[in-house]
């Protein structure tokens, strides 16, 4: 197969592992910089160009779109879809997962466990938002952000109100969420490929840190998940339309709650913690499923 990975940094562990796994299986794989692609949006003959040449003869693309270029990256993926190229994660699903408000609304619609979440435009409703999620402490999140960036803990009512007002004063949209105290700075990352959880790890934040992201100093160990946690991860991936994703959950007193669904999950932490060849399983999924004109969500929001 001829595979293109859309990524800006070819030296990342995850990207090198995917290239290694594809080459081990005899595939031709190339990494191209997403932001250096450009498009000819023409009726009946859509094209993507790179370094002055049209990209043709591609069987599949692996989007590894950074959060800072979601809009442009999704446009490039969409253009490939219009050309009939199969995408590991489709453009619509990537955009859904990156918009925290949109993703929690979709998950809530289908009854998937979530922390109590509120959203408002008017900061004069800050007290009501805090009360709706059970009072301080509360978690305040930017609508776009990954790896714990743009996530703040409002430990008291006054500090929470100050953060809410500061974000809104800067014209930034935020969510206010229930703080799951019983999680104790620990979360679970379930790695989903093709509707199955293929690996899980427990992430623990450092002392005094409520965020457990490995990029913020968290540690990772393997964990055995419950049937309910497995079902929650699979359903979350399915409802957002993602073939490959990392589903981050907390263990709350009322069952597993989804914190985030990551459409470009890193491989280093979970491969290291579990010893599972996740890159290989992703390539195997591509081999079984990549077919021309098989985009499921083409034209849908």
pLDDT at 295 (0 to 100): 77
Looking at domain 182-285, its CATH class is: alpha beta
- Match domain 2-95 to its CATH number in 3.30.70.3280, 3.40.50.620, 3.30.430.20, 3.40.50.20: 3.40.50.20
pLDDT score for 223? 94
Question: Going by C-beta distance under 8 Å and a sequence separation of 6 or more, which residues neighbour residue 35?
Answer: 8, 69, 72, 73
Q: How is the chain split into domains, by residue range? A: 2-95, 117-179, 182-285
| Residue 155 pLDDT | 92
Question: Which CATH class name applies to 117-179?
Answer: alpha beta
pLDDT at residue number 299? 43
Q: What angle is formed at CA 34 by the lines to CA 33 and CA 37, rounded to 5 degrees?
A: 95
Q: What pLDDT is stored for residue 156 in this prediction?
A: 94
For the entire predicted model, the pTM comes to: 0.89
Whether 28 contacts 287, CB under 8 Å: no
Q: Retrieve residue 51's tokens.
A: 């370094």
Q: Residue 99's closest CA among 121, 76, 71, 134?
A: 71
CB neighbour list of residue 69: distance below 8 Å, 6 or more residues apart: 8, 34, 35
Bridge pairing between strands 151-154 and 196-204: unpaired
For position 297, what pLDDT does the model report? 62
* pLDDT by residue, tens only, the chain of 301 residues: 999 999 999 999 999 999 999 999 999 999 999 999 999 998 889 999 999 999 999 999 999 999 899 999 999 999 999 999 999 999 999 999 998 899 999 999 999 999 999 998 877 788 999 999 999 999 998 876 555 567 889 999 999 999 988 887 787 888 999 999 888 889 999 999 999 999 999 998 666 555 555 555 567 899 999 999 999 999 999 999 999 999 999 999 999 999 999 999 999 999 999 999 999 999 999 999 999 887 776 545 4
Do 117-179 and 182-285 have matching folds?
A: no
């Amino acid at each position: 197969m001829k595979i293109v990975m859309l990524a800006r940094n070819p030296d990342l562990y995850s990207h090198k592992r995917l290239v290694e796994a594809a080459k081990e299986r005899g595939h031709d794989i190339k990494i191209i910089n997403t932001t250096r692609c450009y498009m000819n949006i023409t009726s009946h003959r859509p094209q993507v160009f790179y370094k002055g040449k049209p990209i043709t003869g591609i069987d599949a693309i692996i989007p590894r779109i950074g959060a800072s270029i979601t809009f442009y990256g999704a446009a490039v993926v969409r253009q490939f879809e219009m050309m009939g190229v199969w995408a590991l994660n489709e453009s619509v699903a990537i955009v859904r997962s990156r918009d925290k408000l949109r993703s929690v609304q979709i998950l809530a619609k289908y009854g998937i466990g979530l922390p109590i979440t509120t959203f408002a435009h008017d900061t004069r409703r800050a007290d009501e938002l805090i009360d709706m999620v059970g009072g301080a402490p509360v978690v305040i999140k930017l609508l776009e952000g990954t790896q714990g960036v743009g996530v703040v803990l409002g430990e008291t009512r006054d500090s929470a109100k100050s953060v809410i007002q500061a974000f809104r004063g800067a014209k930034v949209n935020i969510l206010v969420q229930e703080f799951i105290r019983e999680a104790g700075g620990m979360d679970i990352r379930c790695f989903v490929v093709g509707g199955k959880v293929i690996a899980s790890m427990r992430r623990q934040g450092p002392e005094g840190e409520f965020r457990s992201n490995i990029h913020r100093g968290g540690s990772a160990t393997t964990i055995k998940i419950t049937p309910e946690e497995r079902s929650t991860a699979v359903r979350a991936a399915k409802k957002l339309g993602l073939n490959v994703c990392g589903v981050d959950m907390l263990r709350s007193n009322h069952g597993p709650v989804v914190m985030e669904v990551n459409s470009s999950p890193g491989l280093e932490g979970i491969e290291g913690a579990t010893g599972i060849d996740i890159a290989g399983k992703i390539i195997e999924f591509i081999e079984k499923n990549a077919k021309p004109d098989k985009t499921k969500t083409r034209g849908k929001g």
